[in-house]
Amino acid sequence: MNAVVRIIFPVAVVGLLAAPAYSGLVDSPSPLFDGRAARTIFYVPNVIHNNGMETVFTCTSLDSTTIRIGIEIFDSIGGSPLNDVSDPSGNGAEDVPVGGTFTVGTDNTEVLSEDEVIAGLPANIRGGSARIVSNSKRIACSAVVLDESFSNDASCTAGLLSGACVVDSECDSAPLAGDGVCTPKGLPGGLAFPLKVISKKQRGD
């Protein structure tokens, strides 16, 4: 009987090298400010840019020299930042002087005066996040989500206090239309709530 000879050919399994998939604000590479990697100072969960609800960030420099501060926005599913703060146009970043305050929003709001609005964001960010970066750790920041139509218009506020609507066009038409009471835009139903700003553990001076 002829012997059966089995010849086994080795098969090389070649894995395709893919670009790294970053999972979000924790492991995405730090942006560059003046050629150097910026420090991550704070993380902010629950960023919203959807249906008139906007997130506004405010940071104050506590440093003794001009510094740069940037706000990076991330989608709820993670991934790379949605804006590039290292770009020369400074989409979400700005140089802040000694003791200065920088306010940036996901869109313009009526109640706050944003120094900058982050451009190019998707229309419906819900449950996103943000990373606050800087070339200095000496900053203090806060974040708030609010109804972009929430108004502190002086005439409307005065009307509200006096009980008479002074300028109808600057007040809500519903549900209190015709009752003679001035209701600031966004109220009732206007929302404003602070977000938790989480500090990254810092070492050194």
> What was the pLDDT predicted at 110?
74
Unique residue bearing structure tokens 């600031």: 184
Model confidence over 23-74: pLDDT tens digits? 678 889 999 998 999 999 999 999 999 988 999 999 999 999 999 999 999 9
CA 92 to CA 86: how far, in whole Å? 9
- Selected from 2.40.50.140, 1.10.510.10, 2.60.290.11, 3.90.950.20, the CATH number assigned to the domain covering 32-150+188-199 reads 2.60.290.11
Q: DSSP 3-state assignment of 157?
A: helix
5 Cβ contact partners less than 8 Å away, ≥ 6 residues apart: none
Question: pTM of this prediction?
Answer: 0.71
Residue 128's nearest CA partner among 41, 22, 52, 54 is: 54
Q: Where are the domains of the chain?
A: 32-150+188-199, 151-184
58 Cβ contact partners less than 8 Å away, ≥ 6 residues apart: 101, 102, 103, 141, 142, 143
CA 66 to CA 145: how far, in whole Å? 28
Provide mean pLDDT across the span 139-147: 93
Distances (CA, A) of 144 to 41, 48, 59, 81, 192: 17, 10, 12, 20, 7
